[in-house]
A and B are shown apart, each in its own frame.
Chain A
Amino acid sequence: QVQLVQSGAEVKKPGASVKVSCKASGYTFTSYGISWVRQAPGQGLEWMGWISAYNGNTNYAQKLQGRVTMTTDTSTSTAYMELRSLRSDDTAVYYCARVEANWGCFDYWGQGTLVTVSS
């Protein structure tokens, strides 16, 4: 069965960086892309970007350009999302999701990782 298992909660100070991992299992990792979506407390879903696990191509939300980097390690079927220069409004639950190739929908999601940015 398809599973996406994310790393644990993080507490960071403003200006620091965070790197969240998303380990995939139950499918051929390189056949799908991974998107990252975040959700601030009490707010809606915000798309952060996408990475192809096949060739590493990325597309980031314009709002996060320059602060976010998405990578994959095909040897361990793991995707990573690094966010730099953290601010308090980056406090959110961060989700990874598998991107279904034909329809572009997010058909499986990780459990979420809470990142808290606080001084």
Chain B
Amino acid sequence: QSVLTQPPSASGTPGQRVTISCSGSSSNIGSNTVNWYQQLPGTAPKLLIYSNNQRPSGVPDRFSGSKSGTSASLAISGLQSEDEADYYCAAWDDSLNGQNVVFGGGTKLTVL
């Protein structure tokens, strides 16, 4: 059971806009920034969005992130076939054990 909650799947047709949600709590999303990772089949994860809504160099502006309270979301506009991948949200969590990173369970995006 993941600390952050994501829908297990999402889908859309080429050109559509899809959003993926990520729900947490006051100790993680509520007090720290959210990062998103994209994992293409058979490859290592790649940083997609950091600090809630910032894109690393090279990430298309079709990808955007937002955060409100203890929830965050990733939006992909102008969906393309190469966007078919698993998407994970992550945040640092301020627990009794110190700071830990918690991940969402991942959302498998299918481009129909």
Contact = CB atoms under 8 A, between A and B. Distances in A.
A95 B44 contact: yes
A107 to B, nearest CB: 5
Contact of B45 (A62, A95, A103): A95
A44 to B, nearest CB: 4
Interface stretch (B13-21, B72-80, B91-99): B91-99
A105 interface: yes
Interface string B7-42: 000000000000000000000000011010101000
B100 A106 contact: no
Query: Chain B contact residues: over half helix, strand or loop, or mixed?
Result: strand
Interface string A86-119: 0000000001010010011111111110000000
Given A95-B44, A103-B35, A109-B45, A62 B106 contact: no
B67 to A, nearest CB: 13
A62 B102 CA distance: 12
Contacts of B68: none
Interface string A48-67: 00100000000101100000
17 contacts: A44-B2, A44-B105, A44-B106, A45-B45, A45-B88, A47-B102, A62-B97, A95-B44, A95-B45, A103-B50, A103-B54, A104-B32, A105-B50, A106-B45, A106-B47, A107-B50, A112-B44
Interface of B: 2, 32-33, 35, 37, 39, 44-47, 50-51, 54, 56, 86, 88, 90, 92, 95, 97-106
Given A46-B103, A47-B103, 5 more contacts: A47-B90, A47-B100, A50-B101, A105-B51, A106-B47
Please name the 8 residue pairs, one residue from A and one from B, whose CB atoms are nearest each other, closest first: A47-B101, A105-B50, A105-B35, A109-B44, A44-B106, A45-B103, A103-B51, A62-B97
